[in-house]
Structure 1
């Protein structure tokens, strides 16, 4: 017969497991009935980058087709244009992925000004010298690097992007630059006429050809880029931090209590950026007192 632990009158009984789970789940809801906000690190919403340097993490490339499609890759490394399901009234800025094949992981290539795009199956997006796209290589090379260019359209004043590929010819300057492009081709096929056909049995077949040698003057190279919001750097916060780091010569002289030499001003401004401002102010003050007594 198992021995039960001793219990005394007035001891608090342990709460049941079911009750504990209920309390845990209810703790996620605030007193007003609203669900508490999630951790910013777990934010999965999608946004547009403000600059090319913002691109990092999960990214989608919305092509300039009608209706909009997104650059995708299958498990074999074949690149194709995939239709979008999560989009509002065919506005490309509202697009979000519904298939993992539509998502690329963007990362910067140090020292080159380029980015690489890794597909869900592990292959990197590449473009060879004649403009053929693929995603079969699991290591980055020259053909796996892309230069992101931001511009504003002249007719609609909207922000758009281009991805410059390895098919570019640097010797020709700007005229030799080549980009990812999506060309829509419509083919008419003839089939046996049925009672429901009003066009004599003719059917239109639309195909999208993806290339890496598009010209900058073509609208086929225009892209809308979306990225997960949690990977977007806080540019505004950085600007505010830089603004706080700026300090005038007059403010420095007021802090020290005397007129400063040019090298002292540079020294204090450098310390302001590096976070050792107050220590340097004390040192400059002490130096000023020593010079005063020496004279």
Structure 2
């Protein structure tokens, strides 16, 4: 095979495999010089596709099912402009602060800082969630309805029941004492409290989640959060074989509260307890 002449000092040219696009470009070389078509290399197009995909996963969208309540999120409300539930990293005090909204609506609201972002975690064995601030403290509501984020551990006051309101798109945030988190106007100032007696306009939140974390809805029952726990799951948590009455007791406790206590009581009665039990 005859090789091309090379001279001392010539730079070595890296060879690359001929692609289908290269062949097509070579075949179209007969085009006139006034407007030849230039095709992008395949690698460039792949980079463009990757960038477009990354762009699609960026940004914030509305949560529309309970499965979406997981990971970083914002609680937003109109009062009267888009604001988000925020937290002072030094004092743990909660308040509302303005969001970045392209058209001044909650549908385009995005955070202006980490003080407006909370990390949601579903509490095992319950239908409740905890919300951790960017500085590692949990959102809490005391007996008089004052919200704060100063505690590093989860207790009853750090548990919240998140409910999708009829019509979809709006959420209610219930506290352990049966109140609702909302925005009340006090002295011309919007104040966040957790002692609302019922869900009104001031207690209807739009929850915004990161697009990349949003759960895709599937047809039928798929993709929905399971409201009913199976016998097998209960038996795995209890560590014993359960009869029908025991299953009913645990399911009722899971729905109405006191699930951990009922589970522990059942384990103790059947000799399956230890210091690390539920």
What TM-score bracket applies, with the shorter chain setting the length? 0.5 to 0.7
Q: Rate the CA distance shift 1:238–1:81 in 2: closer, same or farther, 3 A.
A: same
Matched-pair contact (CA < 8 Å) for 1:180–1:210: yes
> Is 1:159 matched up with 2:173?
no
Q: Cα offset for 1:238?
A: 8.4
Matched-pair contact (CA < 8 Å) for 1:29–1:36: no
Q: Cα offset for 1:89?
A: 3.0
Q: 5 Å matches for 1:2-13?
A: 13=12
- Determine the structure 2 residue equivalent to 1:223: 205
Say what the alpha-carbon RMSD is for the aligned residues: 3.3
**Deviant stretches of 4+, over 6 Å:** none
C-alpha distance in structure 2 between counterparts of 1:231 and 1:135, whole Å: 24
- Determine the structure 2 residue equivalent to 1:143: 157
> What are the ranges of 5 or more consecutive residues in structure 1 without an aligned counterpart?
1-7, 16-25, 169-176, 187-205, 243-295
> Is 1:210 matched up with 2:192?
yes
For the residue of structure 1 that corresponds to 2:144, the secondary structure is: coil
C-alpha distance in structure 1 between counterparts of 2:117 and 2:13, whole Å: 49
- Determine the structure 1 residue equivalent to 2:130: 116
Matched-pair contact (CA < 8 Å) for 2:64–2:168: no
For the residue of structure 1 that corresponds to 2:218, the secondary structure is: helix
Matched-pair contact (CA < 8 Å) for 1:72–1:80: yes
Q: Cα offset for 1:54?
A: 1.9
- Determine the structure 2 residue equivalent to 1:100: 114
| TM value normalised by structure 2 | 0.60
Matched-pair contact (CA < 8 Å) for 1:215–1:221: no
For the residue of structure 2 that corresponds to 1:233, the secondary structure is: coil
Offset from partner CA, 1:149-171 (integer Å, 9 cap, x none): 1113xxxx5631110012x2xxx
> Is 1:47 matched up with 2:61?
yes
C-alpha distance in structure 1 between counterparts of 2:55 and 2:155, whole Å: 31
> What are the ranges of 5 or more consecutive residues in structure 2 without an aligned counterpart?
1-6, 15-40, 225-278
C-alpha distance in structure 2 between counterparts of 1:220 and 1:240, whole Å: 32
C-alpha distance in structure 1 between counterparts of 2:209 and 2:13, whole Å: 48
Q: 2:96 aligned to 81, 84, 94, which one?
A: 81
Offset from partner CA, 1:132-189 (integer Å, 9 cap, x none): 100011111111111001113xxxx5631110012x2xxxxxxxx3110101234xxx
> Is 1:234 matched up with 2:244?
no
C-alpha distance in structure 1 between counterparts of 2:168 and 2:124, whole Å: 29
C-alpha distance in structure 2 between counterparts of 1:135 and 1:123, whole Å: 5
Q: Rate the CA distance shift 1:12–1:237 in 2: closer, same or farther, 3 A.
A: farther
Q: Cα offset for 1:10?
A: 9.5
C-alpha distance in structure 2 between counterparts of 1:182 and 1:218, whole Å: 10
- Determine the structure 2 residue equivalent to 1:130: 144
Q: Cα offset for 1:14?
A: 7.9
C-alpha distance in structure 2 between counterparts of 1:40 and 1:236, whole Å: 23
C-alpha distance in structure 2 between counterparts of 1:119 and 1:240, whole Å: 31
| TM value normalised by structure 1 | 0.57
Matched-pair contact (CA < 8 Å) for 1:64–1:219: no
Matched-pair contact (CA < 8 Å) for 2:63–2:169: no
